[in-house]
Amino acid sequence: DSGVTQTPKHLITATGQRVTLRCSPRSGDLSVYWYQQSLDQGLQFLIQYYNGEERAKGNILERFSAQQFPDLHSELNLSSLELGDSALYFCASSVEAGGGELFFGEGSRLTVL
Amino acid sequence: GQNIDQPTEMTATEGAIVQINCTYQTSGFNGLFWYQQHAGEAPTFLSYNVLDGLEEKGRFSSFLSRSKGYSYLLLKELQMKDSASYLCAVIHKAAGNKLTFGGGTRVLVKP
């Protein structure tokens, strides 16, 4: 158990819909990262927050947005969903803003039908 | 640029040794990680290299050469449970210390 909690574990929805994925980092970790992993693909970095502020941005679509709240949990919002958005979405946390070991949650598996 | 290359797939026999290579190009290197990921599960930390040389941890060792932009993960005395994907990830200092993952190497251990 990494200490990072993600909900929901599984989510099935239809194209055009909007979903929110939630992540609680390890106690004491200020940084939260979101990654997307499509079937048999590598981890694609989406976005990072540190202590409530956006720190780094990767290949995140405009239809996607995220935020980190004062209690340090984070949410990833995916809207106007397309079939290609079906993937595992991982949240990871770390103590530092830059680098350091990442601790991954179990992921949220999104299926868009 | 931030390119990370590793082989897509490798097969090895139980009890043998396998070496997974990773080459990278980055605008400012600040460390390299190896993670293990079983199918459908979260990646788990294996090793971290920031200086040149070999880091050994039980059956797993990781080597780094910063001048060559090269690392390898060595798995010894392979066990069936080692069948997984192994992800090389590099910290890019110029990109705000962003951690970027390679595509992963799927290792299949056969009896």
Query: Would you state the pLDDT for residue B1?
Result: 46
> CA-nearest residue of chain A to B101?
A43
DSSP 8-state secondary structure symbol assigned to residue B91: E
Residues of chain B with C-beta less than 8 angstroms from the C-beta of A39: none
Report the pLDDT averaged over residues B75-89. 96
* Chain centre distance of CA B105: 8
3-class state of residue A91 by DSSP: strand
Is B98 close to A88, i.e. CB distance below 8 A?
A: no
Report the pLDDT averaged over residues B73-77. 97
> Measured over all CA atoms, what is the biggest interatomic distance in chain A, rounded to whole angstroms?
38
> CA-nearest residue of chain B to A54?
B96
Report the pLDDT averaged over residues B68-93. 94
**B74: pLDDT strictly greater than 60:** yes
In sign, the C-alpha dihedral spanning B93, B95, B97, B102 is negative
φ and ψ at A96, to 5 degrees?
-90, 165
Query: Would you state the pLDDT for residue B63?
Result: 97
C-alpha A85/C-alpha A72 separation (Å) is: 25
Among A44, A48, A105, beta carbon nearest to B42: A105
Query: Would you state the pLDDT for residue B21?
Result: 98
Q: Centre a 10 Å sphere on the Cβ of residue A64 and count the other Cβ atoms it contains.
A: 19
Q: Residue A9 burial by CB count (10 A; 0-12/13-18/19+): exposed, middle or buried?
A: exposed
Q: How confident is the model at residue B26 (pLDDT cuts 50, 70, 90)?
A: confident
pLDDT tens-digit map of B30-48: 899 999 999 889 999 999 9
Q: How confident is the model at residue B100 (pLDDT cuts 50, 70, 90)?
A: confident
Report the pLDDT averaged over residues B50-70. 95
Those residues of chain A that have pLDDT short of 50 are: none
